[in-house]
Chain A
Amino acid sequence: MAGEVVGTALIMNTPAADQVIVAEGLGRRYGRHTAVTGLDLKVRRGEVFGLLGSDGAGKTTTLQILAGILNPSAGRATVLGYDCVREAASLTARLGYMSQSFSLYGRLSVDENLEFFADLHRVPEPQRQARKTRLLEFARLAPHRDRPARFLSGGMQKKLALCCALIHEPELLVLDEPTTGVDPVSRREFWNILYQALTQGTTIVVSTPYMDEAERCTRVALLHEGRLIACDAPSRLRAQMPGRMLELRARPQRRALAVLEEALPRSRPYVFGDTLHLHQEESPAPAAPLPDLLAARGIAVEQIRPVAPSLEDVFVTRLAGTAPPAAPPATAEAPPVRERTGLAVEVEDLTVRFGDFTAVDRVGFSVRRGEIFGFLGPNGSGKTTTIRILCGLLAPSAGRARVAGYDVRHEPLAVKARIGYMSQRFSLYDDLTVGENLEFFAGAYGVPRARLAARRNWALALAGLEGEEGRPTRGLSGGFKQRLALACAVLHEPEVIFLDEPTAGVDPLSRRRFWELIYRLSDQGVTVFVTTHYMDEAEHCHTLGLLYNGRLIALGTPEELRAGMRAGEMLELECDQPIAALALFQDAPGIRASFFGDRLHLLVDDAEAARAQILARLQRAGHRVHHVERVPLGIEDVFIAFIEMEQARRAAEAA
C-alpha cells in the first residue's frame, strides 16, 4: 500500500499541534471477540475524515474510543492533545459526539434540547442565543422550535442532534453514522450544517455507509474486521485501484450479467442503471474477448468503455477478497417463472387518517407483475403506512387496494398468503438460530412439508448461510441478517414482496449483493415493492413513485421522471477547493449548488449560458477549476426538484 506510506509520510511532516487525533496500535476486545486491533490513525485539524467499513468492522468502537467514552484494551490515542483514557474528562468537554442511536430527549422540545446541551457544556448566555438561532436557521428547524423531539421526522431528529453536538462549538466533531435512514433532502441539509462547522475550524470524523458522503471526505479510512486496510484521500484511493472499471451496455442485460458472473466471477459485474460495470484486474487487459464471450451466448453488446472507478468500486474491490461469493449459486431447483402479465398491486384513492392527521392522502398507482417498484419519499411521508396497508396490517380510512388480486380490506388472509414482508428492522427472532427462524416462518406461512427441505436449502443459499443453520441470529452481521430476513420473507414463494428500507445502514458490498437477490426474484416474476433512501438503488427500479406529505407527487420510470421534470440542466464542477466554491454559489441567482462526492453539482436553466458565468465567478475568487461538464440529472436531483415544485405549489395554494 504505497499510497498509505506516502500519506503517513506527509502527515509526519506537519507540526504536531496540527494533529487533532493521533492513535497508535489501538485495540479493543469484548471478551474473546476482537473489535479493533492495531489501529494507527492521524487526523489533521480541519479535515473531514471518513471511516468506512462493513458492519462489525469496528467503526463504532473506534469512534467511541476516540471520543473518550470507551477505554481501549491496547494502544493509546491522543485526541485534541489529551490522552483518551487518563484525560478523558478534559477531552469529552471539548468535543461534540453523535452516537448512532437516538440521542435526544424525546419529550423535550427542539429548543429545550438545545438549551439542555448548552447548559451541559456551559455555553454562556450571550453566545447561546445567537448560536441557537443560527443553528436552527441553518438546519431549517426554526419553525419547529416548540415541537417535542420525538414528533420530529427521522431526518429532523438527526439534524437536531447535530445542532446539539455543535452548540458548544467543539474543536472536534465525532459522528457515528449520522445519516443512516435519512432521506436525501435532509441528508443535504445535514451536510450543509457540517460544512458550516468546517468553515469555522471544526475537525470532523464521521463514519458512513453512503459512498457519496465518503467522497466528500478529505481522507477516508477503510476498516475491515477491526483492521485498517486503507487510508487516503478518495481521489488517491481511486487512482491506486489496480485494474480498471469497464462500463458495458448489452441486451438483454440480465442474461449478460449471468454470463459474466459465470465466466468472470472475479470481475464482479454489477448493474449500474441501464449498464453493467465490471472490474478488470490487469490494467492493459484487452477488451476484445468480452464482446466475443457475450456474442457467443447470443447477447448483443452495444458499447464497452472504461470508466473512472467510484469509491464504492474501491471499497468492493478491497473487500471482495475477504468476503464470500457475491451471488448465491444457482440451486438444483430452479423456481418456476411466474406469469408476468396483469397487475400485482392496484391502489385507488387510498387514504389513511390518524385522528386529524392524514398520513396517506388519496394515493393511487398500480404495479405490474414482476416489476421492481421503488417507493421514495422523505422520512415521514407515508411510505411505511402505505406498505402496512398493502400487507393487511392496517385498515385504510378510504379508498381501495388490491394485492395479488385480492382486496386488502376484505380478504386480508388471502393477501397474506401471497405476500412476503420485510419491515424496516430486519425483524428476525434474535434468540433463535438461523435454521429455527427459517423453520418458523416456513411453518407460519404453511409451506408444505414436502417442499420444506428444498425451500430451506434454497433460502440458506440465498442468504449465503449454508452450513450455518445452527448459528444464533443475534451474532450475525447486518448484511447477513438482512439477507436472512429476505429469505424468510420469500420462503413461501410469494407473488409480491414488500421491502421497507431493506438496506438502511448496510455497507455497499452487502447492498450490492442484496440487490442481486432482488433482481433474481424479479426475473422469476416476483413483484418487488421497495422503499429506499439510496438514490443509486432508485435507479435500479423499473418504476418509481415519489411520496411527499402523504401525496403521490411523481410516478414513472427513472427516465420518464428525468424527462418529465423540467428541472433544468446539470453542470459538474471539479475544482481544488470545493467547500469554498460551494459558498460562492450559495446565493447566486439561477444556480442551485450542492455537493456530489468531492465535486459540485450546479443546477441551472441553461448549461451553456451558465457555464461562462460560473467560470468567471470562480476565477474572480481565485479558484482553480479542473473541469466543468454537463452531466445527466441524477435521480436525486429530480427527486428534490419534484419536492420543491410541490412545496411551491402548496405555498401558492395556502396563499
Chain B
Amino acid sequence: MNRARLAAVLRKELIQLLRDRIMLFLILYIYTADVLMCTFALSFDVRNLPTAVADFDRSADSQRLIDGFGASGYFSIEHWTTREAELGGLLNRGEALAALVIPPGFSRRQAAGEAAAVQLLLDGSNANTASVAQGYAQRIAQDYALERAQRAAGQPARLAVEHRPRIWYNSELKYAYFMLLSMIAVAGMLVGVITAAAGIVREKESGTIEQMLVTPVRPAEMIAAKMLPTLLVGLTALFPSLLIAAWVGVPLRGSLALFFLFSAVFLVSSMGIGILVATFAETLQQALLMSFFALFPILFLSGTLVPVESMPWVLQYLAELSPLTHYMEALLGIFLKGVGLEVLWHPLAIIALISATLLALSIWRLRRRIG
C-alpha cells in the first residue's frame, strides 16, 4: 500500500462520513436511544404478574397462602372473584395472566391431616412467562407447606437440606444487564454493515467508483480507507453506550481495553459483511434489502435474544459462523464474568478469521470487476 495514496483516500472518506448527518444521526440513535429504550422496556423478568384469586375457602389458612403469593413480588393480586366463569373471562381477555383457585375445605382438609390441593391457572400464551411463574408459585406453595407441616408437628423449623442458591455474574438476575450488552452488540452489527454497504454502493450509484478505479488506487487501499473512518466513529459511539451501562449499573468486571479490542475486530467483521454485500448490489436499495435480510436473522439468532444452546443443532452451527455470536459471548465474559483473553482468545480468533475471510472475498470481488 502506498501511504500518500491511502492518506488521500482516507481523508476523503473521513470527511464524507463526518458530513453525512443522516448516517451519524443513525449511528448515534442506535447506540443511545435504541440501547436505552430496549434496556428499560424489554425484559423476560416476571414481576407483578397480574393475578386473579378465587378463594372458596375463606379461611386463615387460605389467606396465609394468598399472602405468600402477594408478598413474593412476583404476583400482583388484582382480581378477586368467587365465580369460576369469571376467571375464564379474565384469562381470555388477558386481564389476568395467572389465577389461583383455593377450593372449599382447604383449611379443613389440612387440619384433618389430608392433602389439600390448590390450583394455579396460567395463561400459557406466553410460555416463558408462564413457566417462570409456575416455578415461583411452586416454591411459594412449598414454603407454605413446609411451614404448615412444621407448625403441625410443633417443632421448630428444621429442614433436612438447606438450599443456598447463588447466581453468578448477575446476582439480581436483572435482564437489563443482558439486554444492554445485547443491544450494544446489535448496534455494532447494524452500524458496521449499513455504513460500509452504503459507502460503497453510493459511489457505485453516483459513478464515482469508476473515477476512483481509473486512478492507481488499489482495491485493498480503497477498502481500508472505507473502513477506518467507520471504525473510528463506531468505537467513539461506544462511549455513550458505556455511560448508559454505567448508569444502569452493569458491572464491568473485565478489562475495558479488551472490550475495545473486541469491538474493533467485531466492527471490521460486520463492515466486511457490508462491503461484500455492496460488491453484489448495484443500487442502494438492493444493498439495503440484501443487508437487511442478511442482518435480521443474524441479529436475533446470535445469542442476543435467546441463548444459542436452546436452538436446534443446525442453527447452533450456523450461529458459530456469525461474528455476533462470538462478540456477544465476549461481552458477557468481559462485563459480567470478568474473564480475560485466557478464556476469550477463542472467540477473538474466530471473529478475526471471519473478518479476514470476508475482506479477502470483497477485495477479490472488486478486483474481478476491474480485471
- The answer to A–B direct touch (Cβ < 8 A) is yes
From known contacts A412-B370, A445-B215, infer whether A440 and B8 are also in contact, taking CB-CB under 8 Å.
Answer: yes
Given contacts A392-B214, A427-B206, contact A443 B7 (CB under 8 A): yes
How far is A210 from B369 in the complex, measured between Cα atoms in Å? 36
Query: Interface size class for chain B?
Result: 20 to 34
Among the interface residues B2, B214, B215, which one has the most CB atoms of the partner chain A within 10 A? B214
Residues of chain A within 8 A of B9, CB atoms compared = 440, 443-444
Q: From residue A470, how far is it (CB to closest CB) to chain B in Å?
A: 13
Q: How far is the CA of A82 from the CA of B1 in the complex (A)?
A: 65
- State in angstroms the CA–CA spacing of A494 and B348 once bound together: 46
CB distance from B318 to the nearest CB of A (A): 34
Q: Mark each residue of chain B from 11 to 39: 1 if its CB lies under 8 Å from any CB of chain A, else 0.
A: 11001100110000000000000000000
Q: Is A293 an interface residue (CB 8 A)?
A: no
Among A159-167, A279-287, A430-438, the stretch that binds chain B is A430-438
Is chain B's interface secondary structure helix, strand, loop, or mixed overall?
helix
| Residues of A close to B210: CB separation below 8 A | 388, 391, 393, 421, 423, 427
B217 CB–A CB distance under 8 Å: yes
**A240 nearest CB across to chain B (Å):** 42
Interface 1/0s, chain A 183-208, versus B by CB < 8 A? Answer: 00000000000000000000000000
B126 at the A/B interface (Cβ < 8 Å)? Answer: no
B216 in contact with A443 (CB, 8 Å) = no
Is A139 interfacial (CB-CB < 8 Å)?
Answer: no
Interface digits, A404-428 against B, CB 8 Å rule (1 contact, 0 not)?
A: 0000000011001101111111011
Chain B residues in 8 Å Cβ range of A105: none
A residues near B214, Cβ cutoff 8 Å: 391-393, 416, 419-421
B356 proximal to A (CB < 8 A):
no
- Contact partner of A424 among B15, B207, B371, CB < 8 A? B207
B161 at the interface (CB under 8 A from A): no
* With A392-B214, A393-B214, A421-B214 as contacts: A443 and B207 at CB distance below 8 Å: no
A423-466 Cβ-contact flags toward B at 8 Å (1 or 0): 11101111110001001111111100100000000000000000
Collect the chain A residues with CB atoms within 8 Å of residue B4's CB: 443, 446, 449
Give the residue among A428, A442, A446 with the most B Cβ atoms within 10 A: A446
- Residue ID in chain B nearest A442 by CB atoms: B8
A427 touches B208 (CB 8 A): yes
Write out, one digit per residue, whether chain B residues 357-371 have a CB within 8 A of any chain A CB (1) or not (0).
000000000000011
* Interface bits A461-500 vs B (CB < 8 Å: 1, else 0): 0000000000000000000000000001100000000000
B16 to A, closest residue via Cβ: A431
Q: Within 8 Å of chain A (Cβ to Cβ): is B132? A: no
B321 in the interface (beta carbon within 8 A) = no
Q: Once the chains are docked, how many angstroms separate the CA of A394 from the CA of B369?
A: 7
Given the known interface contacts A416-B215, A446-B4, the answer about A440 and B12 at a Cβ–Cβ threshold of 8 Å is yes
| Chain B residues closer than 8 Å to A416, beta-carbon distance | 214-216
A423 lies within 8 A of B5 (CB) = no
Q: Give how many A-B residue pairs fall within 8 Å (CB-CB).
A: 84
Q: Residues 213-241 of chain A: 1 if any B CB is under 8 Å from the residue's CB, otherwise 0? A: 00000000000000000000000000000
Which chain B residues numbered 334 to 371 have a C-beta less than 8 Å away from chain A? 370-371
B86-105 interface code vs A (CB 8 A; 1 in, 0 out): 00000000000000000000
Question: Which B residues touch A427, using CB under 8 A?
Answer: 206-208, 210-211
Question: Closest residue of chain B to A444, judged by CB?
Answer: B215
Q: Are A431 and B19 in contact (CB under 8 A)?
A: yes
Q: How far is the CB of B334 from chain A (nearest CB, A)?
A: 37
Which of B7, B8, B208 is close to A429, meaning CB atoms less than 8 Å apart?
Answer: B208
Asked if A395 is an interface residue, CB under 8 A from chain B, the answer is yes
Q: Is the CB of B20 within 8 A of A445?
A: no
Asked whether B370 lies within 8 Å of A429 as measured between CB atoms, the reply is no
A488 to B8, CA, bound (A): 14
Interchain CA distance A432-B212 in the complex, whole Å: 15
- Complex: A417 Cα to B206 Cα, angstroms: 23
Contact residues in B for A424 (Cβ distance below 8 Å): 207
Q: With the chains together, A293 CA to B213 CA distance in Å?
A: 48
What 0/1 readout, one digit per residue, does chain B (209-231) give for beta carbons within 8 Å of chain A?
01111111100000000000000
- Chain A hits for B208, CB < 8 A: 427-429
The answer to whether A432 touches B15, judged by C-beta atoms less than 8 angstroms apart, is: yes
Contact A444 B207 (CB under 8 A): no
**Min CB–CB distance A445 → chain B (angstroms):** 5
- In the complex, which residues of chain B have a beta carbon less than 8 angstroms from the beta carbon of A489? 211
Interchain CA distance A292-B214 in the complex, whole Å: 48
Smallest distance from the beta carbon of A429 to chain B beta carbons, Å?
6
Question: Could you tell me the distance in whole angstroms from the C-beta of B190 to the nearest C-beta in chain A?
Answer: 22
Q: Looking across the interface, which residue of chain B has its beta carbon closest to that of A394? A: B370
Query: What's the minimum C-beta distance from A442 to chain B, rounded to whole angstroms?
Result: 7
Residues of B within 8 A of A439 (CB): 8, 11-12
Q: Can you give 25 contacting A-B residue pairs, CB < 8 Å? A: A391-B214, A393-B210, A394-B370, A412-B370, A412-B371, A416-B214, A416-B215, A417-B216, A420-B214, A423-B207, A424-B207, A425-B206, A427-B210, A429-B16, A431-B16, A431-B20, A432-B16, A439-B11, A439-B12, A440-B9, A443-B8, A443-B11, A444-B212, A449-B4, A489-B211
Q: Which B residues form the contact surface with A (CB < 8 A)?
A: 2, 4-5, 7-9, 11-12, 15-16, 19-20, 206-208, 210-217, 370-371
- Cβ-closest 3 pairs across A and B: A443-B8, A444-B215, A427-B207
Beyond A431-B20, A446-B5, list 9 extra A-B contacts (CB 8 Å). A416-B215, A427-B211, A429-B208, A432-B15, A432-B19, A439-B11, A441-B215, A444-B212, A444-B216
